[in-house]
């Protein structure tokens, strides 16, 4: 995965946030019914596809839904489909860094 691809995925991960990225990694498929973005945004297979039944480009629906440009959505889809292993590795790395950067519990002695 090249630096540009990593940057676009990181943009998507930041827009989704840790909870949705972790949920998306439970995805097992590569269609709009069960891909990373479908599970990350809606939490269950088929839910995003039902939302997108209207006649429009799916990327143009998902981009505003998660707050990223259409190009980022296209790259997420392409990388999930073409290099799922590297995608998952980068997501795990991003999640680990997010845990370090974001406090997850109360501060002791505060």
Q: How far apart are CA 63 and CA 57, in angstroms?
A: 10
Residue 90 has pLDDT above 90, yes or no: yes
The residue-averaged pLDDT of 82-100 equals: 91
By CB neighbour count within 10 A (0-12 exposed, 13-18 middle, 19+ buried), where does 33 fall?
A: middle
Q: How far apart are CA 23 and CA 43, in angstroms?
A: 7
Place of tokens 């676009």: 8
In tens, the pLDDT along 94-106 reads 999 988 655 444 4
pTM of this structure: 0.74
Q: How far apart are CA 87 and CA 108, in angstroms?
A: 36
In tens, the pLDDT along 30-80 reads 998 999 999 999 888 888 888 877 656 788 888 888 999 999 999 999 999
> Do residues 1 and 90 make contact, with C-beta atoms less than 8 angstroms apart?
yes
Q: What was the pLDDT predicted at 59?
A: 83
């Amino acid at each position: 995965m090249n630096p540009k691809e990593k940057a676009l995925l990181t943009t998507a991960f930041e827009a989704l946030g840790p909870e949705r990225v972790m949920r998306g990694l439970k995805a097992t498929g590569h269609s709009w019914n069960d891909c990373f973005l479908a599970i990350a945004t809606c939490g269950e297979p088929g839910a995003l596809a039902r939302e997108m039944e209207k006649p429009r480009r799916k990327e143009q629906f998902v981009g505003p839904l998660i707050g990223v440009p259409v190009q980022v959505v296209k790259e997420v889809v392409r990388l999930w489909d073409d290099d799922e292993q590297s995608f998952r590795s980068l997501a795990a790395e991003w999640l680990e860094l997010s845990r370090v950067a974001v406090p997850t519990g109360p501060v002791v002695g505060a």
